[in-house]
Amino acid sequence: MSFTDRLGLTIPQAVLAWGLVVLIGGAAGLLAMLICNYMLSFGGSDSASKHGISKVQATRLGGVAIVAYMIMHLGYQAYSGLYLPLIEEALIMGACLAFFVIGIYEDLSGLLSARIRFSLMLIAGLLTVYFAPGLVLQPVGILWVDLIVGSTPLIAAFFTAVCVAFIPNAFNTADGANGLVAGVSACSFAALVSVAPPELVPFLLAALVGCLVFLVFNLVSGRFFLGDGGAYFLGALAGLSLVVVSNTSDVSVWWLLSFVFYPVADLIWSMGRRLRRGVSPLNPDNQHFHNVLFAYLDAGEQPSVRANTLTGVSIAFVFAGLPLALTMIGTWSVDSDAWFLWVVGQWCVYAIGWKYLNDRLCVLPAATVRNVTS
């Protein structure tokens, strides 16, 4: 069975998708997709009920395409002498690959609990800051954070490792709708390119193109997911890049947080909601913002696949696309304190939106609400 057959693409859709992959990612993008096709033979399928949104059989190995593209693209640049990463950047890539391996093993085996995965990522984060002390978070202008990172080097390193492990988990939790996490990641990397140190820019550009290549198949077929491996990889790269930019550039921490707001806020909100119910904060459920938004759209006139894509793209646009647009048109400078008010506004939109959607689902006929568990 061909790659496009697995993804349920018609011949015109397949021609368009492969053409876009070649146009966006070039030869490396094409090879990355072929590698992903080969990886599908090892497993990593996703049942239609696992996320509470997808209603079709899908693959969880989409992250392989992004990682393969980055390795081939950056490898070619290094081989040709166009780009030679410094030790710190090489360690960032190594850490991201470690997170990817943890996730891809879970995708293929399903044997790692959430607690074990977080512990392994915490160890990877600690090793990263041990070998690259420059990645330890410096004061950011938030009182409680500055008190922690300004206390002792050991505490600062541990706090950084916890943050680096938390963000990939947040990205993985948010990976529940077509285009959501890849869209948030693409917006984040596009924004960071303008303020990142020159040595980090090739990583961000390669990740941006990799996300765009992935989005081609993710949005066209709805059968191509990042999986734990892809979400962990993008989350680790985003988290470590945020630390680097925060430490080296004159930017507002609220501007940085505005791009990863949705995954981080959704995980915090979900953990608090579970604790209020008296269950473990690590227990998965289908009451995330994207779950209730999808259930609301799916209960209407939207076809399920369209509702899935509309859910992911709209969330990515509102919570990451709008900050990118405001940055590009120069509404506020990247060091403006106004970004604090923007993040407060994001919290209001998230909390009010979740409450409204949850209340609306309670009054809908039970037969129309199929994807949210109480």
**Identity of the amino acid at 128:** T
18 or 65, which is more confident? 65
Q: Is residue 122 part of a domain?
A: yes
3-state secondary structure of 59: strand
Q: pLDDT by residue (tens digit) across 267-308?
A: 999 999 988 888 888 777 888 999 999 988 887 766 677 888
| Number of domain units in the chain | 1
User: How does residue 374 score in pLDDT terms, banded at 50, 70 and 90?
Assistant: very low
Mean pLDDT for the chain overall:
86
- Does residue 327 belong to any structural domain of this protein? no
Tokens representing residue 138 in the block: 């410096």
103: closest CA among 89, 88, 120, 84?
A: 120
Three-class SS state of 371: coil
The verdict on residue 301 lying in a domain is no
Distance CA 343, CA 254 (A): 7
In whole angstroms, give the CA distance from residue 210 to residue 205. Answer: 8
Return the SS3 of 190: helix
**Helix (H/G/I), strand (E/B), else coil: 342:** helix
Least confident range of 110-124, 181-195, 208-222: 208-222
Domain-located, residue 258: yes
15 domain residue, yes or no: yes
Query: Could you tell me the pLDDT band of residue 53, with boundaries at 50, 70 and 90?
Result: low
SS (H, E, C) 36-57: HHHHHHHCCEECCCCCCCCCCC
For the stretch 88-144, pLDDT in tens is 888 899 999 999 999 999 988 888 888 899 999 999 999 999 999 989 999 999 999
Query: What is the rounded CA–CA span in Å between residue 156 and residue 195?
Result: 24
Q: Which residues of 190-202 are buried (b: 16+ CB within 10 A; e: fewer)?
A: bbbbebbeebbbb
Residue 180 has pLDDT above 70, yes or no: yes
Does residue 330 form part of some domain?
no
What's the pLDDT at 307? Answer: 85
Determine, yes or no, domain membership for 318. Answer: no
Residue 61 has pLDDT above 70, yes or no: yes
Q: pTM for the whole thing?
A: 0.90
39: containing domain = 3-265
* Residue 298 maps to a domain: no
Span of 183-192, 208-217, 244-253, 336-345 with lowest mean pLDDT: 208-217
Q: To the nearest whole percent, how much of the chain has pLDDT over 70?
A: 86
CA 280 to CA 139: how far, in whole Å?
A: 32
